[in-house]
């Protein structure tokens, strides 16, 4: 279809320049496949159309809720409200029926095309109420559309965090990046989307009957593999976009692939580890773990071990080739949603419903750190920067960057407005992708979250203050008073030792000849600055 019938019909009556300005050649048009008197949509087009319909359904619900809160007096106004609510319900049901369809009439195709043209097709006469008088039988464009060809979906940049933003219009339950950092795969409602990260565009939409989750790619970036609630694992060819195989009787909560791309490991809802042959697409072995659902799994860098986290709170290591348990790492109180293991196979990271990020030292057989920070469940953990840093996400709407060896939270990345469900880190460690319940994908730049300097502490550091030009650091230690450091030369330049000194704040003079310490004992101490 070359033009949207609704838009075309509407703008044939418009002779003014403003009307022509709305209708341009770069708008998104469907290219339906016609079969007799019916039409089919390609998966990518159907995905975009359905996302547009879902957005209109949300607008209708919001408008209905608002109308129901309005006063019913005088009677004329009550009639107006009731008629509009009835119109909303009629429109809602008509749009809702489109979501389940795969075969469309000509009028339905025209309607879907129009929906994808117009960002809003309801008249706004104030900021809160959307007038539903202009319903879908007589649509009209009142605002400039937001193109749904996804050319700019990943391109708007946040000034605060240097991030790219994409509206997915459904929850983003999974994300993964190919080893060549070229493609991003995200899963949502009924679709898995393939993105070109260099051009920031959608390449393909893989269609499902149910929600796909989880998703991984093979190490040679040739296959993308996803599970789904219909008990199938689907394997797609990344180059041809063809479905290669469907593995039956599988409902994975987690997936992993060996480095040689020959074995697929499934962490199932039954609590077992299932091994699939990716050359013959057959089930090789099922390992009974005596655990509940395997929420997460990763393979060690030497390709010898599998690390799992389960609903029962167990974190376990398994021998990949002998198909047997190596050891129980931890038995936590809450279900373990995320696990990771460093490349040297020494440290195990886990995140659960408890909240803290736990780091276990396999060599010394003890917890080396418990990093507080998340206020809810930790749902994903990824390592980068030679395993010096970890990035986590969870139900507290936050993405957090950690220095795992120094036990520091380097940054809290704020932007999501719902639980953050998935993370993917590029193989060069330069950026991370996050997605969640708020239907938004963020691509965060990670090269700005690094420890620039490490200073040896001569005691337990309680407070720190930076000088005027950020070159001087004042550290208060419980035992040794205040140490003054030159950050450019990474050396201590002076020490203020006073047994009863309990500093509240530190301030320098403009000429940096003196600095003043405000103490909690209600005394100001003035010191001459010296190097």
Question: In this structure, are 326 and 282 located in the same domain?
Answer: yes
Residue where a domain stops, chosen among 131, 151, 173: 131
Cα dist from 94 to 50, 89, 98, whole Å: 13, 9, 7
Helix extents (H) in 70-177 = 75-99, 106-117
150, part of any domain: no
| pLDDT tier, 100 (very low <50, low <70, confident <90, very high otherwise) | confident
> What is the C-alpha to C-alpha distance for residues 55 and 344, in angstroms, rounded to an integer?
47
Question: In this structure, are 39 and 169 located in the same domain?
Answer: no
Helix extents (H) in 102-212 = 106-117
63, part of any domain: yes
- Assigned token pair, 268: 């199932």
Question: In this structure, are 118 and 195 located in the same domain?
Answer: no
Lowest mean pLDDT among 183-187, 342-346, 349-353, 521-525: 521-525
Q: Which residues contact 171 (CB under 8 A, 6 or more apart)?
A: 188, 189, 418, 421, 435, 436, 437, 438, 439
Question: In this structure, are 301 and 441 located in the same domain?
Answer: yes
Give the CA angle between residues 273, 278, 284 to the nearest 5°. 45
Question: In this structure, are 186 and 306 located in the same domain?
Answer: yes
> Which phi and psi (to 5°) does residue 65 adopt?
-60, -40
Give the containing element (helix H, strand E) for 147.
none
DSSP conformation class of 32: P
pLDDT of 1-31, one tens digit each? 334 444 444 444 443 434 333 333 334 456 6
142, part of any domain: no
> Which phi and psi (to 5°) does residue 294 adopt?
-80, 100
> What is the C-alpha to C-alpha distance for residues 119 and 115, in angstroms, rounded to an integer?
8
pLDDT for 152 = 29
Give the containing element (helix H, strand E) for 499.
none
Question: In this structure, are 435 and 487 located in the same domain?
Answer: no
Question: In this structure, are 358 and 407 located in the same domain?
Answer: yes
Question: In this structure, are 404 and 334 located in the same domain?
Answer: yes
Lowest mean pLDDT among 7-11, 459-463, 493-497: 7-11
> What is the C-alpha to C-alpha distance for residues 425 and 447, in angstroms, rounded to an integer?
12
Among residues 214, 126, 109, 172, which one has the least CA distance to residue 443?
172
pLDDT of 422-432, one tens digit each? 999 999 888 88
> What is the C-alpha to C-alpha distance for residues 481 and 501, in angstroms, rounded to an integer?
7
pLDDT for 300 = 95
Give the containing element (helix H, strand E) for 169.
none
Question: In this structure, are 207 and 299 located in the same domain?
Answer: yes
386, part of any domain: yes
Query: At residue 242, does pLDDT exceed 80?
Result: yes
Query: At residue 360, does pLDDT exceed 80?
Result: yes
Query: Domain containing 245: what range?
Result: 164-445
CB hemisphere CA count around 40 (13 angstroms): 6
159, part of any domain: no
Question: In this structure, are 341 and 379 located in the same domain?
Answer: yes
Q: Look up the pTM and report it.
A: 0.60
Among residues 455, 430, 456, 452, which one has the least CA distance to residue 443?
430
Residues in the chain: 531
- Assigned token pair, 217: 């790619």
147, part of any domain: no
As for how many domains the chain has, the answer is 3
Mean pLDDT to the nearest integer, 256-272 = 93
| pLDDT tier, 158 (very low <50, low <70, confident <90, very high otherwise) | very low
Locate tokens 């009639």: which residue?
79
153, part of any domain: no
Question: In this structure, are 203 and 352 located in the same domain?
Answer: yes
- Residue 279: which CATH number? 2.130.10.10
Residue where a domain stops, chosen among 414, 445, 476: 445
Residue where a domain stops, chosen among 83, 107, 131: 131
Query: At residue 201, does pLDDT exceed 90?
Result: no
334, 376 Cβ separation under 8 angstroms? no
**Residue 200 CB neighbour total at 10 angstroms:** 18
406, part of any domain: yes
Among residues 294, 267, 266, which one has the least CA distance to residue 281?
266
Question: In this structure, are 308 and 399 located in the same domain?
Answer: yes
- Assigned token pair, 413: 């990345």
């Amino acid at each position: 279809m070359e033009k949207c019938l609704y838009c075309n019909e509407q703008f044939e009556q418009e002779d003014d320049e403003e009307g022509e300005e709305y209708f341009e050649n770069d708008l998104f048009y469907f290219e339906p496949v016609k079969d007799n008197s019916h039409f089919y949509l390609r998966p990518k087009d159907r995905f975009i159309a359905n996302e547009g319909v879902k957005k209109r359904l949300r607008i209708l619900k919001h408008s209905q809720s608002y109308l129901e809160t309005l006063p019913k007096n005088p009677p004329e106004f009550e009639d107006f409200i009731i008629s509009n609510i009835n119109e909303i319900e009629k429109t809602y049901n008509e749009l809702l029926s489109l979501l389940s369809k795969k075969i469309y009439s000509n009028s339905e195709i025209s309607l879907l095309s129009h929906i994808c043209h117009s960002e809003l097709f309801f008249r706004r006469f104030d900021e809160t109420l959307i007038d539903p008088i202009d319903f879908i039988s007589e649509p009209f464009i009142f605002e400039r559309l937001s193109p749904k060809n996804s050319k700019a979906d990943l391109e708007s940049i946040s000034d605060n965090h240097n991030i790219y933003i994409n509206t997915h219009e459904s929850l983003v339950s999974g994300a993964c990046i190919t080893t060549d950092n070229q493609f991003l795969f995200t899963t949502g409602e009924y679709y898995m989307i393939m993105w070109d990260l260099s051009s920031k565009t959608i390449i393909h939409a893989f269609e499902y009957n149910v929600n796909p989750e989880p998703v991984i790619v093979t190490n040679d970036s040739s296959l993308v593999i996803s599970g789904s609630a219909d008990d199938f694992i689907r394997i797609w060819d990344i180059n041809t976009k063809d479905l290669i195989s469907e593995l039956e009787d599988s409902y994975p909560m987690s997936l992993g692939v060996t480095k040689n791309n020959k074995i697929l490991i499934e962490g199932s809802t039954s609590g077992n580890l299932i091994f699939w042959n990716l050359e013959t697409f057959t089930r090789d072995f099922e390992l009974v773990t005596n655990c509940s659902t395997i929420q997460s799994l990763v393979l060690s860098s030497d390709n010898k071990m599998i690390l799992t986290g389960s609903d029962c709170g167990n974190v376990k290591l398994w021998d990949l080739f002998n198909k047997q348990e190596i050891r129980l790492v931890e038995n936590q109180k809450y279900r373990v949603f995320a696990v990771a293991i460093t490349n040297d196979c020494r440290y195990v990271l886990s995140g659960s419903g408890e909240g803290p990020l736990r780091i276990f030292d396999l060599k010394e057989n003890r917890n080396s750190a418990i990093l507080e920070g998340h206020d809810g469940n930790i749902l994903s953990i990824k390592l980068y920067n030679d395993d010096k840093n970890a990035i986590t996400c969870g139900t507290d709407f936050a993405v957090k960057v950690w220095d795992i060896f120094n036990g520091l939270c380097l940054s809290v990345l704020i932007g999501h407005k719902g639980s953050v469900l998935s993370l993917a880190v590029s193989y060069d460690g330069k950026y991370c992708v996050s997605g969640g319940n708020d239907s938004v994908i963020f691509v965060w730049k990670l090269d700005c979250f690094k420890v620039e300097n490490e200073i040896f502490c001569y005691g337990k550091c309680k407070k720190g203050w930076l000088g005027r030009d950020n070159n001087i650091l004042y550290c208060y230690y419980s035992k040794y008073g205040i140490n003054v450091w030159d950050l450019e030369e990474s050396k201590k330049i002076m020490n203020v030792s006073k047994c009863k000194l309990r500093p509240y704040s530190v301030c320098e003079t403009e000429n940096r000849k003196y600095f003043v310490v405000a103490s909690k004992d209600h005394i100001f101490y003035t010191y001459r600055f010296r190097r």
